Amino acid sequence: MNADWLIFLYCALALGALCIVGFLSELRRRSFGPAHPEDRVFRCQKCGFVYTDDADVDRSRCTQCGKLNEPIVY
């Protein structure tokens, strides 16, 4: 093996190891990150506007007309 091939192999392995470490770090960050809260979907019975609100809200006021609405149950 000549020196050029050894230098290329060393750089390729170092770059590959760096890519693997970055990929695993990103996977770990995503798995331990905060989960997105689930929102409830509401449809206004008066104007038909569809909107979302927090999951802990049982009834929500429509942002278009102001009527209180129940969440959509799928």
Tell me: the pLDDT tens digits for 7-17? 999 999 999 99
Domain ranges of the chain: 1-33, 39-69
What is the per-residue pLDDT for 29? Answer: 83
Confidence band of 69 (pLDDT split at 50, 70, 90)? very high
What amino acid is encoded at 14 in this protein? A
Distance of CA 72 to the CA centre of its chain: 23
Q: Which long-range CB contacts under 8 A does 8-15 form with residues at least 24 apart?
A: none
| Residue 29, H or E segment | helix 3-32
Cα separation, 3 vs 13, whole angstroms: 15
* Residue 20, pLDDT score: 97
pLDDT of residue 72: 87
pLDDT tens digits, one per residue of 18-67:
999 999 999 888 877 666 678 899 999 999 999 999 888 889 999 899 99
